A and B are shown apart, each in its own frame.
Chain A
Amino acid sequence: DAGVTQSPTHLIKTRGQQVTLRCSPKSGHDTVSWYQQALGQGPQFIFQYYEEEERQRGNFPDRFSGHQFPNYSSELNVNALLLGDSALYLCASRPPGGSPYEQYFGPGTRLTVT
């Protein structure tokens, strides 16, 4: 049973560019959340997708957007990249009706903005 998978594992972009990160949830999971973890910090909640809609959002600008597909996979898009967007981006999924402790994290995508 595959866990949460994310692609790519590493990415280097230039300021001003746009990036798309991808996440496939654990089998049977329908809710996907995205987190940003800057170096030396804990993960920060970006947003959550359920039934192809954004259900919750953290304190992130509109440059951060997302999408969820019918197969529950999800994308995180970041426009007009800033140096401060360099971080590990984590995707987490949980099953229908699951509790907070049932969130499973993927290995993350490490984004470097130069």
Chain B
Amino acid sequence: RKEVEQDPGPFNVPEGATVAFNCTYSNSASQSFFWYRQDCRKEPKLLMSVYSSGNEDGRFTAQLNRASQYISLLIRDSKLSDSATYLCVVPYNTDKLIFGTGTRLQVFP
């Protein structure tokens, strides 16, 4: 089993839609989790961190299910500017980040 697994997509959704991505991880000892956003041919940038059951920031909600070892990212009221690849990240330790393959989102008008 891969350390971090994501559905690669792409997810094609209309503006205003709600979309959710899931990510599963194998290390049950992991305590913190992150979602990064990566625009085409750009570097990854931190979107949200999740330390307990969940985190909400505007239209974005990240949830953690430790029993099932998965993290989800929910985007409400999708905007064209949300089109990007969303990377699920589980730190192996303080510095080594384990990335999923990313889920590509395309929002269309």
Which residue numbers of A lie inside 8 Å of B, CB to CB? 31, 33, 35, 40-45, 48, 55-56, 58, 88, 90, 92, 94, 98-101, 103, 105-108, 110
Chain B contacts for A101, CB-based, 8 A = 32, 34, 46, 49
Flag if A33 contacts B34 (CB, 8 Å). Answer: no
Flag if A42 contacts B45 (CB, 8 Å). Answer: no
A-B contact pairs, 10 of them (CB 8 A): A33-B96, A40-B101, A45-B98, A58-B96, A88-B41, A100-B34, A101-B46, A103-B95, A106-B43, A108-B43
**Chain B 56-109 residues near chain A, CB threshold 8 A:** 87, 91-102
Flag if B96 contacts A107 (CB, 8 Å). Answer: no
Flag if A45 contacts B97 (CB, 8 Å). Answer: yes
Measured CB to CB, the closest approach of chain A to B34, in angstroms, equals 6
Flag if A42 contacts B87 (CB, 8 Å). Answer: yes
Which residue numbers of B lie inside 8 Å of A, CB to CB? 4, 8, 32, 34, 41-46, 49, 87, 91-102
Flag if A100 contacts B44 (CB, 8 Å). Answer: no
- Give complex CA distance A105, B46 in Å: 9
- Give complex CA distance A43, B96 in Å: 11
Measured CB to CB, the closest approach of chain B to A88, in angstroms, equals 8
Closest to A107 in B: B43
Closest to B51 in A: A101
Closest to A88 in B: B41
Flag if A42 contacts B102 (CB, 8 Å). Answer: yes
Flag if A105 contacts B34 (CB, 8 Å). Answer: no
Flag if B95 contacts A43 (CB, 8 Å). Answer: no
